[in-house]
Structure 1
């Protein structure tokens, strides 16, 4: 049995204001060509088909054209990710039921709204009919919507991971119900963060944090775990369990500039070890970063052909027409950002970098060190620190009292001590 695993297409993603439609068309055609070449028995997309809950119509059309082509090659399952709309998946699934041809029922959308227990088990026969693939599919479960699903686990961050383990165990039990060890190949797919995996930082990082992580040891013991959510292609766990993030097909931002993108071919059979082979994708334009002088950029210009390029140019004095000069040096690159790191304009912040009388470090120095640790480029960091120091060292202005405040202060200072008036009081 062969399966093709892809994930995290994020159709509709842009780079700043730059459309990447041509790249998406090229890489989806490449994935389809790989599927046609290897002729898998099953194709699994492990989530984040789109980049937003409300994708543009052109992106929905792009997705359906590619998924239709894949479904004609092999049954195709698309899992709902954290970027995908369950309602849109319902619509796309309904549209698939209207097809009159023989491929009807070969494209499946699996999602979770959060109001019903997520996850399902799907069965597919291999091309030759001798094997059966049993796939347990667990779509993304949002951390903010799981309390009613896991009422016995509490409300801590760790309860989310405990609840996911419970869902996985339930799916595994359903996989094993009716399992034929001489014929069946068991697979599991999920859109979630597994502890120890390395993110690309183009993900929504608040959804990929260790307190919400599922332990790799808690993944179901099956022939292969097809994972989505993390954009860096990578195996998961110690290697004893065949589990892998297929990763995104394009470099989504400059945090992924060193990553090689791929889809994964899975070769499995009852009673033998699973073979996992990444197939490199070549269609996406590379994202690159450069940090150095103009002379160094000129010497390295040949390696920046047909890339998106982000530059930080070091200089001793301000460089006029810097953007134009960089563009002339790398005419075959698409410049995304040009920043200057100039020694002459580098701000010198404060003079009291020594600890104060209590032995505490200067707060501005600590803030500057924080920006450096966060990777903020030099000139940007200098500007921010200078503004911070200016605000910190500017004395608070004394605003004049308002008339009401003056009257209140006077009344407090001279409380009324007059004798009570004679006669009875009338209340109304």
Structure 2
């Protein structure tokens, strides 16, 4: 039995929130489809974060469905919901995929949950040679704010979230083992979660890959393979028993990932045999590179930035006019996406108490006057502004008068309303 594991496509993600990567997505999805055509897997698993946004653009939904339908013609394909994916959209796509599958025989499933009810599913598939049954337990991302609906008794203490996920996994494992036949069944598990021993990349949402939300690798269910999503750096996790791996993102999503090699994972598993894991390197995405140094150093290293997305930080003693043009001329084969200047002459210096003598008080009006001079404020206007500033600086802070609302409330509290007698006639004031 052979499985193709991919994850974290993040369709719609841009570089530095402005440069489209649609061409790269098209190229790498075609590359993943080609890998599937070559290895002919029995099952394809996408372990979450299909999109980068809860509300993806229509073009990104179309891009995803075209690729997934092509994959589903090669083998049954399961897409797990990640923290970036909308449960409602996944429910719609699953409904449409089932209608489409009934027509052409393809198998494409979407599994997600809002977390208000027990999430997860157990799905059965038959291998190409009809000799093995593949049983997949799928646990989509469970938001920390949602798991309280599932486990109200766990509370919000440190480790409660991980304990809740462990309970969910144990429940799925129990369902996975119902009717289990050791000689013919291969058990798999897929989840979108942060395992404590994993090394995050630089493009995940940092607040969702922190220790309070980490699960223990020892809590992963004992199956033939655990297909994990959420972390963008491809890597194995745990001790290897069970075999567990993050497939990672297919593109370098952030300049901090410039040294990462992206891949999809091909898994071979047989009942009673050791699982074999074979990462297939992806080449379609452009490399991201961050250069930091002088213009002369960039000139010497220009050849290594051909065809890459380049973010350049240039060090200099004095400001360089039209710095971006200079950098672009030095690396004409790079795709320049950002230029920053680190200039010694304009670098701000943080003052400490040691910079001011103990017996001296800083002359704040004089410092403010000097600042106005650097902004080009005319002399008379600068003098008027400094005078007003000095007056405010030395004015004793006074309590502001109460607002009209406070005055009304004070009067109301001083003369509380009482219920009129039963035979009294109420009149307007």
* TM-score (normalised: structure 1): 0.83
Structure 1 residue runs without a partner (length 5+): 358-393, 406-427
Judging changes above 3 Å, is the alpha-carbon distance between structure 1 residues 123 and 401 closer, same or farther for their aligned structure 2 residues? same
Aligned length: 370
Within 2, Cα distance between the matches of 1:138 and 1:175? 12
Within 1, Cα distance between the matches of 2:44 and 2:393? 64
* TM-score (normalised: structure 2): 0.83
Residue 2 of structure 1 corresponds to: 2
Q: Do structure 1's residue 398 and structure 2's residue 398 form an aligned pair?
A: no
SS of equivalent residue, structure 2 residue 159: helix
Per the TM alignment, residue 337 of structure 1 is displaced from its structure 2 partner at its CA by 1.3
Q: Deviations over 1:202-260 (max 9, x none)?
A: 11111111111110000000000000000000000122321000000011111211111
Residue 316 of structure 1 corresponds to: 317
Contact 2:6–2:247 under 8 Å retained in 1: yes
Structure-to-structure mapping, 1:24-173, within 5 angstroms:
24-99=25-100, 103-104=104-105, 106-173=107-174
Per the TM alignment, residue 351 of structure 1 is displaced from its structure 2 partner at its CA by 6.0
Structure-to-structure mapping, 1:267-416, within 5 angstroms:
267-350=268-351, 352-353=353-354, 398=395, 401=398, 404=401
Residue 12 of structure 2 corresponds to: 12
SS of equivalent residue, structure 2 residue 297: helix
SS of equivalent residue, structure 2 residue 303: helix
Per the TM alignment, residue 350 of structure 1 is displaced from its structure 2 partner at its CA by 2.5
Moved more, 64-73 or 90-99: 90-99
Within 2, Cα distance between the matches of 1:349 and 1:107? 58
Judging changes above 3 Å, is the alpha-carbon distance between structure 1 residues 322 and 107 closer, same or farther for their aligned structure 2 residues? same
Contact 1:97–1:104 under 8 Å retained in 2: no
Within 1, Cα distance between the matches of 2:112 and 2:400? 62
Contact 1:96–1:104 under 8 Å retained in 2: no
Residue 230 of structure 2 corresponds to: 229
Q: Deviations over 1:131-162 (max 9, x none)?
A: 11110000000000111201221222411110
Within 1, Cα distance between the matches of 2:400 and 2:353? 42
Contact 1:327–1:335 under 8 Å retained in 2: yes
Judging changes above 3 Å, is the alpha-carbon distance between structure 1 residues 164 and 403 closer, same or farther for their aligned structure 2 residues? closer
Residue 362 of structure 1 corresponds to: none
Per the TM alignment, residue 355 of structure 1 is displaced from its structure 2 partner at its CA by 12
Within 1, Cα distance between the matches of 2:185 and 2:255? 42
Residue 251 of structure 2 corresponds to: 250
Structure 2 residue runs without a partner (length 5+): 359-389, 403-428
Contact 1:262–1:280 under 8 Å retained in 2: yes
Within 1, Cα distance between the matches of 2:69 and 2:394? 67
Residue 193 of structure 1 corresponds to: 194
Q: Deviations over 1:8-47 (max 9, x none)?
A: 0000001121111000000000000000000000000000
SS of equivalent residue, structure 1 residue 335: strand
Q: Deviations over 1:331-386 (max 9, x none)?
A: 111112111112233333326448999xxxxxxxxxxxxxxxxxxxxxxxxxxxxx
Moved more, 98-107 or 283-292: 98-107
SS of equivalent residue, structure 1 residue 311: strand
